[in-house]
Amino acid sequence: MGDGLKSTLDIVMEKLKGLEGEPPELNDRQKERIAEIRRECEAKIAEKKILIDDKELLAKEIVALEEKRDRQIAKVHQESKP
């Protein structure tokens, strides 16, 4: 991802890959949970875009929601470790 900031998910995936070669496979329940987390985050972001007029505040809210999403997804990935 170059010299830019990395998301929490990117960092966790790199750590998992470094420890085991490849990230662990997810089962169907975990894949569905990740999809659900992403859908919920997108819905919350859409809601914030409607409710918040201040672009700076909106950007902060979106970043906070995306970081929360990444932490939740990373937690699901951690559950898949043997």
d(CA 21, CA 17) in angstroms, rounded, equals 5
Degrees, nearest 5: CA angle 47-49-51:
70
Q: What is the pLDDT of residue 79?
A: 83
**Residue 46 binned pLDDT confidence (cut-offs 50, 70, 90):** very high
Q: What is the pLDDT of residue 61?
A: 97
H-helix segments, 1-82: 8-20, 28-51, 55-79
